[in-house]
A and B are shown apart, each in its own frame.
Chain A
Amino acid sequence: MNERRELPDEGARRARFARRALAGFAIMLALVLAVAGRFVYLQVHEHAEYSTRAKANRVRLRHLPPPRGLIFDREGKLLADNIPAFRLDVIPDKVKHMDALLERLAMVVPLTDDDIRRFKQSLKQHRSFEPVPLKFRLTESERDRFAVDQWQFPGVSIDPYLTRNYPYGAEFAHVVGYVGRIDEKEQAKLDPDRYAGTTHIGKTGLEKQYENLLHGTPGYELVEVNADQRPLRVLQRVPAKPGRNLYLTIDERLQRATIAAFAGQTGAAVAIDPRNGNVLAMVTVPSFDPNLFVNGISQADYTALLDDPDKPLLNRAMRGGYPPGSIVKPFLGLGGLEMGLRKPDDTVLSTGTFYIPGVARGYRDDQRYGAGRVNLMQAITQSVNTYFYSLALQMGIQRLDQWMAKFGFGSPTGIDLPDETGGVLPSPEWKRKTFKQPWYPGETVISGIGQGYWMVTPLQMAHALASLAGDGKSFTPHLLAATSDGLEDPETPYPQAPPKQITHDPADVAAVVQGMLGVVNSPSGTAYKAGIGQGFPYLIAGKTGTAERYSRTSEAYNTNKNLAYLAERHRAWFICFAPADHPQIAIAVVLEQGAWGGTAAAPIARKMLDQWLADTPPSERPPINTAATQSAVAAPATP
């Protein structure tokens, strides 16, 4: 076999190669002749036809960018709109001396340094025969002045376009986001045909997340032009197909009421429907006006936003990491039940200080001499640290982490918004990776009350609470409910991921909820004094949290009751859901500076609940269960 393959001598090899080379050459020659034949056909046979077409080629193609899809809240309020405006376009090919032209043009239409810098940047991105936008949103007087002097500026024109407008301004800046001019990096990644003639693209928020849905398909116009390329008439027009409209789960009324409830305090709040993961409100205060960014924010405005000590550009709801404090207690308690470490009636003695066996350092309760013997319900209602210190120690950090991770702590929730952060769920592995240090048992103990390295975002907190309130069914939170082709077209529901079941026994959840009912409704509850349950037709289940912003310097009890002093030191949390027996809304509120969760953050949640009630038509409200209300309030009596 091998002899037949290995040719005997070099001469035969060369001869065989020569035959092959000749065959290859022949094939190539045939193909070249085919191409040449095609040219003969085009240039001889079809010459007359194409000659006429070339002479008649007064037809130019003009791209029509598609109008961007609109964004509505759940009630059909328009959150992102397109409004007509005019811009100044320059066709680079038609301009001999660009700098001189810009200088003369600036005398007619004021041009800022920002305008010129951006224009020069986009010059590089466009082909020389395409119009490049120089200045957006011309005022009427600018248009008039240019119209008078237009003859002086060949290649410069005023063109109408649609610009993005956010009627609610700062209210939805962190959710809807904003569009901005396409930059060089984005340009390189876009399909040039699909983005022909388009100048803007979603930069943040839903505008970025659903860019593909919102963008649409460009159309075109065949325009007859004269020898100077001036358009004479439109021969054919294929309209652009607008982007899809988005219908959100968010409710503008609830969003607005929430912002109002913050009354200028810094913080964030998120409300989620536990039945489906719909985000009903997502608030970050303070915020900023997204309209500033649409046509390029001025350097001065941008610096002002960056330098603002309240950081209005920070999306606190999904990027702000805060120590959760006591609001993790219901979740830990539920874990204790699910793992069989505790029964609801098992009690733990709280004496004011908790000691790990054999360790001298103690861990404090909030009440100086302790709360005495408390069961799970009482421990949640009165936020008794010792109960959870001992439970955390018994559970061990591994199980604690695995359990809490099920509720989404330590990782992004997967909401349909870009750039969400996942907070920190501390674990021995995490600590080793981050600080290259071992884990200490004391850190397990303080993890039990949400202190230590633990960081959560308000969105994570609302998501975790919604999962608990919905009997352990965890939905991925989302803002997009449906899309539609046009205003007259039917809405298509946007597909959502199915929920994950994370608890096993509804009785366990019910036991924890009893404790949370006590927080709001029992006189010993930490939120009772704020009176947030009063006058509300449904039962509210909640939990307060007050996390320290700075680590304590001494073990002494803080006797300074000055609220302003405390507010400066504390982060106040309140989480709640209602109606407790048929949960329809789960809320997480955090105040960056709040004295106590019960007094500072809980009233904000109550205002949100009031708004939710007002927004829910009676036909959609669950029945009011008076008997349950009374028994719940009576249940967590002090032992």
Chain B
Amino acid sequence: MNELVASFGGRARRIAQRIFSRPRIDVPLAAGLFVLALIGLTVLYSASNLNTSMVIGQATRFLVGAALLLAVSRIPPSLLRAWTPWFYLLSCVLLVVLMVLGEGRGADRWLDLGVIRFQPSELMKLAMPMMIAWYLHPRPLPPRWRDIAAVGILTGIPALLIGRQPDLGTALLVLASGLFVLFLAGLQWWKIGAMLAALAGAAPVAWHYMHDYQRERVLTFLHPENDPLGTGWHIIQSMIAVGSGGIVGKGFNQGTQSKLEFLPEHTTDFIFAVLGEEFGLIGVLVLLALYVFIVGRCLWIAANARDTWSRLVAGAFGLAFMVYVIVNGGMISGLLPVVGVPLPLVSYGGTSAITLLTGFGVVMSIHAHRKWTP
């Protein structure tokens, strides 16, 4: 390896030395993620009815994600930034491939690669902030209207592709992760206000293009008792699970709501309700605090980053990560409509965990290289 490194000259050698040197991860952030993963596996063990193979499967995904995190953290941000358009393009192409294979009609969110199946929309959750930051970093900030329009196109196309799958929740989150970059880039508050007003104006149009069942979900959220059959049942049972957990919870593996299968999707989208039932308010607050800590650390790393791209990526990724938590928590507690958003690093599911950990790899890289210029 050393010969290889030595064979490069000058700048290339310094980059190579960086990549192959001892990992320099951010210990507080890594510790936070590690604890979060442990909590996730514990709750999954109970939620899956002590299904060890599911837990081992999820742990394997965490290990793959951790390996990717370590690998990505060694790549200098300048390289990551240079690769960004290709990464974004690849994610877009995969979404188009998915649309073509799914004939654009069915609810096809999965790409089957034989060995693994993954959701390109999850990839986009990472590619989006990187791409918008890539677009904005050489331009004068705060962004001008025409930059805002460009960002609108860059975020809108993938969001539409995902919305067509149809996966409204993820489409909105991907859209949001792109817009966070604009926000962090210093977009004037009055422009933010104008954009929010425009969005509110576009809501009836979006309503027009929604699938019938998606409209039903929104209406169900407003009146859950009208539809005890489908999503209304989910909300009611989820609230019973959470509410009956009380302050200290019913104890590990003691949640009747999930054990007796009143709670749907209790290993994936509704796993937070299992935690709420078995570990009570204390468990919920500990988990939320842990998330806040992780996001706070991301923003701190962002604020200390050396260049605009790094700042925007780390900051937007952190904010988006928090939004996933808020949306999932709001959904299972009946504050928000059921939109099928997993709880980051706790819900069972591969693509989400691996992409999120890779994203933290990017954040770690920004941290590790903050005092270094190639």
Q: Which listed residue (A189, A193, A220) contacts B105, Cβ 8 A?
A: A189
Name the residue of chain A whose CB is nearest to the CB of B316. Answer: A24
Given A14-B303, A57-B240, A189-B107, do A220 and B228 touch, yes or no (CB 8 Å)?
yes
The answer for the CA separation of A51 and B249 in the assembled complex, in Å, is 11
A47 touches B315 (CB 8 A): no
* B284 CB–A CB distance under 8 Å: yes
Interface residue A43 (Cβ < 8 Å from any Cβ of B): yes
Closest to B230 in A: A193
Interface string of A39-64 (1 = CB under 8 A from B): 11011101101110111010011010
Bound complex: CA A72 to CA B148 (Å): 59
Q: Chain A residue with minimal CB distance to B189?
A: A23
Interchain CB contact under 8 A, B228 and A17: no
Interface centre among A36, A54, A61 (most CB of B within 10 A): A54
Q: Does A560 contact B (CB under 8 A)?
A: no
Chain B 220-241 per-residue mask, 1 if CB under 8 angstroms from chain A, else 0: 0000000011110100010111
Whether B285 contacts A36 by the Cβ 8 Å rule is: yes
Q: How large is the interface on A (under 10, 10 to 19, 20 to 34, 35 or more residues)?
A: 35 or more
Q: Does A20 contact B (CB under 8 A)?
A: yes
Q: Is A25 an interface residue (CB 8 A)?
A: yes
- The answer to the question of B41 belonging to the interface, with a C-beta cut-off of 8 Å to chain A, is no
Bound complex: CA A13 to CA B141 (Å) = 9
Q: What CA separation (Å) do A28 and B292 show in the bound complex?
A: 9
* Alpha-carbon gap, A35 to B185, bound state (A): 27
Contact B292 A32 (CB under 8 A): yes
Report whether A50 and B239 are in contact in the complex, using a CB–CB cutoff of 8 Å: yes
User: Per-residue CB proximity of A16-40 to B under 8 Å, as 1/0?
Assistant: 1110111011001101101110111
- Indicate whether A50 sits within 8 Å of B242 (C-beta atoms), given known contacts A93-B261, A188-B107: yes
- Whether the pair B322, A38 counts as a contact (CB closer than 8 A) is no
Count of interface residues, chain B, beta-carbon cutoff 8 Å? 60
Determine the distance from Cα of A76 to Cα of B256 in the docked complex, in whole angstroms: 53
Report the minimum CB–CB distance from A24 to chain B (whole Å): 5
Q: Contacts A5-B142, A57-B262 hold; do A38 and B335 have CB atoms under 8 A apart?
A: yes
Task: Tell me the B321-338 residues at the A interface (CB within 8 Å).
Answer: 322-323, 325-326, 329-330, 333-335
Give A18's nearest chain B residue, CB to CB: B303
A60 and chain B: residue at smallest CB distance: B262
* Selected interface stretch from B2-10, B22-30, B114-122, B294-302: B294-302
Q: How far is the CA of A451 from the CA of B109 in the complex (A)?
A: 50
Contact mask for chain B residues 234-276; partner A; CB cutoff 8 A; 1 contact, 0 none: 0001011111111100000000110011100000000000001
Give min CB distance, A156 to chain B, whole Å: 18
| Docked CA distance A38–B273 (Å) | 13
**Whole-angstrom distance between the alpha carbons of A271 and B302 in the complex?**
75
CB distance from B158 to the nearest CB of A (A): 22
- Do B319 and A28 have beta carbons less than 8 Å apart? yes
Give B81 Cβ to nearest chain A Cβ, in Å. 16
Q: Which residues of B contact A25 (CB under 8 A)?
A: 295-296, 299
Q: Which of B247, B257, B325 contacts A47 (CB 8 A)?
A: B247
The main secondary structure of chain B at its interface with chain A is helix
- Interface assignment of B172: CB less than 8 Å from any CB of chain A: no
Q: Among the listed B105, B185, B244, B303, which residue makes an inter-chain contact with A54, where contact means beta carbons less than 8 Å apart?
A: B244
Query: B244: which A residues are within 8 A, CB to CB?
Result: 47, 50-51, 53-55
* Interchain CB contact under 8 A, B213 and A47: no
A21 to B107, CA, bound (A): 37
User: Which A152-201 residues sit within 8 Å CB-CB of chain B?
Assistant: 188-189, 191, 193-194, 196
Interface residues of B in 288-313 (CB under 8 A from A): 288, 291-292, 295-296, 299, 302-303, 308, 311
- Bound: A14/B312 CA distance, A: 11
Q: Which A residue sits closest to B280, measured CB to CB?
A: A43
Cβ of B186 under 8 Å from chain A: yes
- Chain A to chain B: the 9 pairs with minimum beta-carbon distance, closest first: A50-B243, A54-B244, A189-B106, A35-B329, A193-B230, A5-B140, A43-B281, A42-B243, A28-B322
Given contacts A25-B295, A25-B296, A54-B240, 12 further A-B contacts (CB under 8 A): A5-B141, A13-B308, A28-B326, A36-B284, A39-B281, A42-B334, A53-B243, A53-B244, A57-B260, A218-B229, A220-B228, A222-B228
A-B contact pairs, 24 of them (CB 8 A): A5-B140, A6-B140, A14-B303, A17-B302, A17-B308, A20-B185, A20-B315, A22-B299, A25-B296, A28-B322, A29-B292, A32-B292, A35-B329, A35-B333, A36-B284, A38-B334, A39-B285, A46-B243, A50-B239, A54-B241, A55-B256, A61-B229, A129-B261, A193-B230
Q: Which residues of A contact B (CB under 8 A)?
A: 2, 5-7, 13-14, 16-18, 20-22, 24-25, 28-29, 31-32, 34-36, 38-40, 42-44, 46-47, 49-51, 53-55, 57, 60-61, 63, 93, 129, 188-189, 191, 193-194, 196, 218-220, 222, 229, 238
